[in-house]
Amino acid sequence: MAENHGRYNLTELLACVAAGLLQDGKSAFVGTGLPLVAGMLAQRTHAPRMLIIFEAGGIGPRVPELPISVGDSRTFYQAVAASSMHDVMSACQNGYVDYCFLGGAAVDPYGNLNTTVIGDWANPKVRLPGSGGANDLGSFSWQTIILLRGQSPRTFVEKLDFVTTPGYLTGPGAREAAGLPADTGPYRVITQLGVFGFHEETKRMELLAVHPGVTIEEARGASGFEIGVHEPVGVTAEPTDEQLRVLREVDPRGRVIGK
Q: Is there a catalytic annotation at residue 249?
A: no
Cis-peptide, bond into residue 232, ω within 30° of zero? yes
Burial (Cβ within 10 Å: 0-12, 13-18, ≥19) of residue 85: middle
Q: Which residue in 3, 12, 55, 158 is the catalytic one?
A: 55
DSSP code of residue 156: B
Query: Using an 8 Å Cβ cutoff, are 114 and 156 in contact?
Result: no
Question: What residue ranges in the chain does DSSP mark as E strands?
Answer: 27-29, 51-53, 58-59, 81-82, 99-102, 106-107, 113-114, 117-119, 124-127, 143-147, 186-190, 194-198, 205-210, 228-235
Q: How far apart are CA 38 and CA 17, in angstroms?
A: 8
Burial (Cβ within 10 Å: 0-12, 13-18, ≥19) of residue 170: middle
Residues tagged active-site: 55
